[in-house]
């Protein structure tokens, strides 16, 4: 249908928006060039997961059509490959332009040909002494087996002259503990990449053979693995699958410049990969080294303004977090507020509190040196009943989570893995604390993002802390169901997929449709990472046709096209891609003052979230917090620096500020707000202290200037990586 977009093509449009940040003039130069690396990292994962999945589908059921575009898996693959090729000139032009501009600051990526004679002599010696002894050249022909090429690793390939058939030489570039950037001058700012040196001298690895052509290649392999949670050996099987994934079929080959057609066809044949999956690049095949450039020059004009997460103005330092939540609901906003000074503090206080009897939590992605894990282990060692639902199938975090599960079990934590066939993606915590006698108090936390100290500093997320007993009862039911490998069927206040989230969302949309059909002003708002759920899309179209005003903020995939007459003319879609990764999920039903309902949670409007995962969303009931979220939503809708809007043809364009209109970068606005809130809180406390001292007749000592301490590292980049 004309108002529907294919999921894969919509995602590629998102990644194009990421790439556009690499040339955005308002971004500092070293930050701009990092977006090129983020674009490539995103694309790698897209090929490993989505293209890998489509490839499997094409082999098993190529007649099955996408419900939105009507394309078969093979047709979708062709469309994806075409779209990726069309983007490549933009990728290369952006890279070259940024590298050229960096020359003003002493940066220069040289090739062997542009190196000075002295540098060339140095590089030849460097290759012979520092590289050649640690790598091996392998000759391949029909009489010899083809070597296994690792996922995303770089290889130099050469076409060897042979009297019989085609012969190819393969040289692995990557070495343990090696630095790809070989410094030549200016403290490493003038450099050459190691793979370029290996390619230049690859012929020395095949003495006695004449090299007629050479190139660099990089293979991307299928990573789409899934295993059902069945039986006690689930963790063991997951460990086996993680190892197996590294050896799955190749789905893409990238190659530098042009290469001998005979040799290329031979390599494709050995890899069992079609030529349509070969992508040429005239810039480095692996752009991850661009992040390193940030470390080589600290000039302020080359970097974003340093920001550090603030302590939440909603939390006092002299009372426990649990006690404060018992008094009122608290909303935390990341990365603008510190996870360490709020959520981690709550966990640490609970682990040490003798009255806390149990802690239950769901874990999906964690930091490398996770304070969450260490605190949960401490709680268990202190005699608390600690239950952790850890998702071992969190893609690309499987190995980490397997190791964390072992550490937790060793500390005495009860570890579960959730229901079979369904990932548990919820961000849910329940703390139980003895009050008086046989009575207990509860604090429940529901979030939009992971319990990960690292990503909390670069992802925008929300976290609700509440002592509401109905919500606690629902949370208890969720953990009980997870323990038994089943699902919550009914709830009091929480929305819980797969059975008790989408029906409620559709029902609340129906309420707005009824309001509009009776002459009122219906309203639906949502901020999500992705939107492709067919039932929700159908309901949004119905709401639009009924006259409901619908405002969607969708960072990534959006399969509904707004502004199509007769279908979606009352829908607007905008996407914000900036310094931080937009990750929070907000659902709004109804206008302010008209029994408005607001939820935050872990679910996107995707079928994988609404009907194939365990997700949790919570109502925001406190009027103060509802007002705060409404204000956030208004700011996001006012962003005219990092926002793009989708047009009725499915394309995205930057929001253009009007003449004299104030420029609003929503992410910077929220950071300034967090700074201001804390300063205002400090000023209030100072005034109250002054009043108390006046009443007591004490003289005040001169105030000492102090800077807020935070153990969060300064945030220097982030912004666009896929979740």
Rounded to an integer, what distance in angstroms lies between the CA atom of residue 325 and that of residue 468?
Answer: 10
Q: If we measure between CA atoms, which residue out of 302, 306, 278 comes closest to residue 290?
A: 302
Rounded to an integer, what distance in angstroms lies between the CA atom of residue 40 and that of residue 398?
Answer: 22
- Going by the DSSP 8-state scheme, the letter that residue 551 receives in this structure is E
* Number of helices (H), then strands (E), in the chain: 19, 28
Q: Strand pairing of 211-221 and 154-160?
A: antiparallel
Q: Strand pairing of 211-221 and 250-256?
A: antiparallel
Rounded to 10 degrees, what is the CA torsion of 606, 609, 612, 618? -140
Rounded to an integer, what distance in angstroms lies between the CA atom of residue 420 and that of residue 202?
Answer: 50
Q: Is 40 helix (H, G, I), strand (E, B) or coil?
A: helix
Beta-ladder partners of 549: 523
Q: Is 154 helix (H, G, I), strand (E, B) or coil?
A: strand
CA distances from 400 to 232, 265, 450 (A): 19, 38, 14
In this structure, are residues 496 and 475 in contact, taking their beta carbons and an 8 Å threshold? no
- Cis-peptide into 498, omega within 30 deg: yes
- Count other Cβ atoms within 10 Å, centred on residue 506: 16
Rounded to an integer, what distance in angstroms lies between the CA atom of residue 529 and that of residue 276?
Answer: 31
Beta-ladder partners of 441: 433
CA distances from 470 to 474, 481, 502, 525 (A): 6, 17, 20, 25
Q: CA angle at residue 73 from 68 to 77, to 5 degrees?
A: 100
Q: Strand pairing of 167-172 and 581-582?
A: unpaired
- Count other Cβ atoms within 10 Å, centred on residue 609: 26
In this structure, are residues 715 and 339 in contact, taking their beta carbons and an 8 Å threshold? no
Rounded to an integer, what distance in angstroms lies between the CA atom of residue 426 and that of residue 433?
Answer: 22
Does the CA dihedral 362-368-370-376 come out positive or negative?
Answer: positive
Rounded to an integer, what distance in angstroms lies between the CA atom of residue 637 and that of residue 643?
Answer: 8
Kindly state the greatest CA–CA separation across the chain: 102
Q: If we measure between CA atoms, which residue out of 559, 560, 556 comes closest to residue 7?
A: 559
Residue 541: CB partners within 8 Å, gap ≥ 6? 3, 560, 567, 568
CA distances from 240 to 225, 237, 395, 417 (A): 11, 5, 14, 17
In this structure, are residues 605 and 533 in contact, taking their beta carbons and an 8 Å threshold? yes
Catalytic center residues: 425
Task: State the distance between the two ends of the chain, measured CA to CA, in whole angstroms.
Answer: 28
In this structure, are residues 117 and 48 in contact, taking their beta carbons and an 8 Å threshold? no
Burial profile 284-294: b = 16 or more Cβ within 10 angstroms, e = fewer:
bbbbebbbebb
CA distances from 19 to 89, 495, 656, 717 (A): 12, 36, 19, 15
Residue 675: CB partners within 8 Å, gap ≥ 6? 310
The three-state (H, E, C) secondary structure of 304-316, written as one string: CCCECCECCCCCC
């Amino acid at each position: 249908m004309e108002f529907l977009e294919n999921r894969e093509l919509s995602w590629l449009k998102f990644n194009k928006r990421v790439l556009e940040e690499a040339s955005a003039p308002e971004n500092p130069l070293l930050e701009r060039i990092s977006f090129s690396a983020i674009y490539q990292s995103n694309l790698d994962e897209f090929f490993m997961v989505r293209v890998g999945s489509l490839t499997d589908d094409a082999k098993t059921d190529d007649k099955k059509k996408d419900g939105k575009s009507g394309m078969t898996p093979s047709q979708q693959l062709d469309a994806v490959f075409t779209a990726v090729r069309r983007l490549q000139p933009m990728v290369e032009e952006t890279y070259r332009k940024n590298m050229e501009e960096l020359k003003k600051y002493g940066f220069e990526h040289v090739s062997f040909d542009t190196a000075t004679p002295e540098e060339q002599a140095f590089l030849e010696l460097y290759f012979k002494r520092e590289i050649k002894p640690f790598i091996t050249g392998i000759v391949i022909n029909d009489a010899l087996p083809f070597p296994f090429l690792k996922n995303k690793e770089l290889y130099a390939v050469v076409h060897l002259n042979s009297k019989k058939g085609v012969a190819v030489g393969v040289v692995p570039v990557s070495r343990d503990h090696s630095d790809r950037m070989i410094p030549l001058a200016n403290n490493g700012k003038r450099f050459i990449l190691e793979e370029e040196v290996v390619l230049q001298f690859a012929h020395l690895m095949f003495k006695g053979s004449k090299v007629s052509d050479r190139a660099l290649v990089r293979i991307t392999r299928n990573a789409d693995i899934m295993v059902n949670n069945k039986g006690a050996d689930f963790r063991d099987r997951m460990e086996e699958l993680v190892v197996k994934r590294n050896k799955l079929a190749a789905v893409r080959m990238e190659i530098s410049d042009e290469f001998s057609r005979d040799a290329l066809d031979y390599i494709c044949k050995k890899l069992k990969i079609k030529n349509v999956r070969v992508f040429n690049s005239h810039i480095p095949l692996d752009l991850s080294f661009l992040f390193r450039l940030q470390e080589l020059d600290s000039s302020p004009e080359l970097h974003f303004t340093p920001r550090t997460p603030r302590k939440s103005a909603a939390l006092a330092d002299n009372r426990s977090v649990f006690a404060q939540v018992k008094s009122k609901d608290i909303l935390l906003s990341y990365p603008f507020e510190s996870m360490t000074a709020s959520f981690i503090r709550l966990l640490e206080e609970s682990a040490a509190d003798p009255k806390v009897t149990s802690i239950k939590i769901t874990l999906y992605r964690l930091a490398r040196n996770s304070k969450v894990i260490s605190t949960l282990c401490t709680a268990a060692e202190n005699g608390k009943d600690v239950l952790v639902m850890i998702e071992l199938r969190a893609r690309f975090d499987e190995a980490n989570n397997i190791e964390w599960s072992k550490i937790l079990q060793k500390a005495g934590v009860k570890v579960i893995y959730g229901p079979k066939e369904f990932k548990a993606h919820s961000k849910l915590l329940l703390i139980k604390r003895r009050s008086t006698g046989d009575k207990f108090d509860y604090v429940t936390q529901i979030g939009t993002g992971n319990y990960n100290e690292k990503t909390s500093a670069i992802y925008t997320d929300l976290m609700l802390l509440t002592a509401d007993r109905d919500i606690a009862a629902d949370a208890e039911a969720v953990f009980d169901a997870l323990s038994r490998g089943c699902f919550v069927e009914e709830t009091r206040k929480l929305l819980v997929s797969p059975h008790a989230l989408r029906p409620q969302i559709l029902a609340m949309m129906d309420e707005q449709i009824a309001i509009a059909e009776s002459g009122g002003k219906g309203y639906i708002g949502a901020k999500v990472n992705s939107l492709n759920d067919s039932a929700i899309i159908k309901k949004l179209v119905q709401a639009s046709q009924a006259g409901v005003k619908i405002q969607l903020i969708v960072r990534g995939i959006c399969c509904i096209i707004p502004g199509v007459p007769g279908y979606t003319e009352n829908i607007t879609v905008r996407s914000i891609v900036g310094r931080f990764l937009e990750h929070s999920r907000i659902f709004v039903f109804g206008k302010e003052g008209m029994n408005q309902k607001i939820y935050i949670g872990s679910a996107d409007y995707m079928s994988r979230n609404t009907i194939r995962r365990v997700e949790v969303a919570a109502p925001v009931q406190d009027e103060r917090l509802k007002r705060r979220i409404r204000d956030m939503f208004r700011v996001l809708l006012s962003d005219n620096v990092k926002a793009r809007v989708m047009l009725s043809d499915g394309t995205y364009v930057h929001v253009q500020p009007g003449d004299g209109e104030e420029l609003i970068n929503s992410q910077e606005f929220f950071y300034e707000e967090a700074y201001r809130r804390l300063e205002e809180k400090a000023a209030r406390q100072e005034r109250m202290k002054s009043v108390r001292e006046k009443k007591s007749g004490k003289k005040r000592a001169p105030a000492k200037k102090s800077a807020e301490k935070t153990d969060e590292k300064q945030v220097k980049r982030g912004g666009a990586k896929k979740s």
